[in-house]
């Protein structure tokens, strides 16, 4: 049995025992691919930063598939070695990546919508715990998740967003653990692409199945704990 089927089976067992199972999902690079958003931001920069370096306008043909963790790698691949220009792109990326209007580029990680729906249909509480912040990205996140078909606007769904952008990801997710526990049901599974956050959930919810999404993560991320299972998408 694959890990996704094992999680659905555990949900059904908990429901049969009249407990409310909880499945925790990170959003970016876990349920939703950030590649199209990053490619769109790079293409925007091709227009606004063209005067900075000849390679910048070559970003106009940027495609989602070539996006890794750092958007600046796409510019480097087009022949720019000027650190100031690469940094200018990263500064531009930062303001655009965390702006709500770029969320129109959200697409699901393959199989994510069907799996989240299966989790909900099986009787679990779907708990989205995302580092997106409510003031700048809340409304667009709701619109995006709804449009993509993720469970929303009904019982057994929580959308937990950062109250402000200023809180660091790790502190925010650590602080959310008590909110997750407040539902009193067992956390049966956690999905996260950042290994440090995934490690945090291993410690907070030792009886759950922990999945580290093999999408992308920061090159200087924490080492993953051995308990973490690895999948690249939700089609398995
Ligand atoms: Mg993430």
Same domain, 114 and 10: yes
Residues in the chain: 236
Distance 15 CA to ligand 1 centre (A): 28
Structure-block tokens of residue 174: 């650590």
Residues 139 and 72 in one domain: no
Instruction: Examine the domain organization and report whether 175 and 196 are in the same domain.
Output: yes
Reading the block at residue 177, the tokens are 């653990």
CA of 158 relative to ligand 1 center, distance in Å: 17
The pLDDT tens digits along the chain (236 residues) read 899 999 999 999 999 999 999 999 999 999 999 999 999 999 999 999 999 999 999 999 999 999 988 999 999 999 999 999 999 999 999 999 999 999 999 999 999 999 999 999 999 999 999 999 999 999 999 999 999 999 999 999 999 999 999 999 999 999 999 999 999 999 999 999 999 999 999 999 999 999 999 999 998 999 999 999 999 999 98
How does DSSP classify residue 39?
H
Q: How far does residue 216's CA lie from ligand 1's centre (Å)?
A: 9
Please give the pLDDT value at position 130.
Answer: 98
Residue 221 and residue 192 share a domain: yes
What tokens appear for 95 in the block?
Answer: 């303001």
Beta carbons of 190 and 208 less than 8 angstroms apart: yes
Q: How far is the CA of 217 from the centre of ligand 1 (A)?
A: 8
Cα–Cα distance measured from residue 119 to residue 191, given in angstroms and rounded to the nearest whole number: 12
* Claim to verify: residue 162 and residue 196 sit in the same structural domain: yes
Q: Could you tell me which of 155, 142, 228 has the C-alpha nearest to residue 191?
A: 228
Domain of 69, in residue numbers: 35-104
How far, in Å, is the centroid of ligand 1 from the Cα of 170?
Answer: 11
Q: Where are the beta strands (DSSP E) in the chain?
A: 22-25, 32-33, 107-108, 125-133, 157-162, 187-192, 209-213, 229-231
Please say which residue of 80, 104, 128 terminates a domain.
104
Q: Let me know whether 85 and 118 are in one domain.
A: no
- Kindly state whether residue 135 falls inside one of the protein's structural domains: yes
Instruction: Give 218 Cα–ligand 1 centroid separation in angstroms.
Output: 10
Number of domains in the chain: 2
Give me the CATH number covering residue 156. Answer: 3.40.50.1000
pTM of this structure: 0.96
Residue 21 domain flag? yes
Whether residue 63 is found in the same domain as residue 131: no
């Amino acid at each position: 049995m694959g890990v996704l089927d094992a999680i659905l089976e555990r949900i059904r067992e908990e429901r049969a025992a009249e407990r409310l199972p909880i499945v925790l999902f990170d959003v970016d690079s876990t349920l939703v691919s950030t590649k199209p958003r990053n490619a769109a931001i790079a293409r925007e920069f091709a227009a606004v930063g063209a005067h900075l370096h000849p390679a910048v306008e070559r970003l106009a043909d940027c495609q989602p598939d070539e996006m890794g963790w750092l958007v600046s790698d796409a510019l480097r691949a087009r022949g720019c070695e000027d650190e100031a220009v690469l940094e200018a792109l990263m500064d531009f990326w930062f303001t655009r990546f965390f702006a709500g209007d770029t969320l129109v580029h959200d697409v699901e990680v393959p199989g994510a919508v069907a799996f989240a729906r299966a989790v909900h249909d099986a009787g679990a509480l779907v708990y989205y715990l995302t580092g997106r912040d409510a003031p700048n990205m809340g409304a667009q996140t709701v619109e995006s998740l709804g449009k993509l078909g993720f469970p929303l606007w009904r019982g057994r769904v929580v959308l937990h967003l950062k109250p402000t952008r200023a809180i660091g990801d790790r502190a925010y997710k650590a602080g959310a653990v008590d909110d997750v526990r407040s539902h009193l049901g067992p956390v049966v599974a956690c999905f996260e692409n950042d290994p440090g956050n995934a490690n945090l959930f291993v410690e907070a919810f030792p009886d759950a199945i922990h999945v580290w999404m093999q999408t992308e993560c920061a090159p200087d991320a924490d080492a993953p704990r051995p308990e973490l299972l690895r999948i690249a998408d939700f089609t398995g």
